[in-house]
Chains A and B, each alone.
Chain A
Amino acid sequence: SQELEQSPQSLIVQEGKNLTINCTSSKTLYGLYWYKQKYGEGLIFLMMLQKGGEEKSHEKITAKLDEKKQQSSLHITASQPSHAGIYLCGAAQNQAGTALIFGKGTTLSVSS
């Protein structure tokens, strides 16, 4: 079965610093989601990447999909305390996209 591995597992950065989170799939990626979760809350959709080489940005968060490497990266520029939380990548296990699998998450803390 497909697995998604996220790295790092946790990250502490100083406010204002840049950071990158990676998500690597053990099998072909049909597309990839990035979600953010805060403790006790549901998942908040960040962005969806559908094809290789695609790059999307929202405010200070940029995500890119590298189909050849079966990998996606999430980059945060000039981190703020509001960026703190758990970042999860999710991918479709098939082209129908009916069942997502998720990585175990990267916990981000931003110190001010």
Chain B
Amino acid sequence: GAGVSQSPSNKVTEKGKDVELRCDPISGHTALYWYRQSLGQGLEFLIYFQGNSAPDKSGLPSDRFSAERTGGSVSTLTIQRTQQEDSAVYLCASSLDRGFYNEQFFGPGTRLTVL
């Protein structure tokens, strides 16, 4: 079956612009995660959605970052007033259910470049 898909695969934007990144999780997966991977920084947790529960936003670096998950499926990560330090690969993952014992399946990522 289809894996996690993300769009766009690459996004170049100017500093100060808003961007939206999309994630389509695997059908039936109730948990959805967003991560950011910066050069030399490894993978950084941003936000987690589980069903209809309130999302865990503890990893969002600033209030310029927000995310939604509509209908328990597709998710959109929005970055407002982008800064150069926002340049990174943004990875989305989904799992069948919450918790460590449910493997997270990752999408290919969106490479964001802020000029």
Contacts and interface: CB of A to CB of B under 8 A. Distances in A.
Interface residues of B, number: 30
A98 B51 CA distance: 13
A48 B103 contact: yes
Contacts of A101: 43, 45
Nearest to A102: B43
Interface residues of A, number: 26
Interface string A32-63: 01010000111111001010000000000000
B100 A31 contact: yes
Nearest to B92: A42
Contacts of A96: 98-100
A98 B108 contact: no
B108 A45 contact: no
Interface string B40-80: 11111100101000001011000000000000000000000
Interface of A: 30-31, 33, 35, 40-45, 48, 50, 88, 90, 92, 95-105
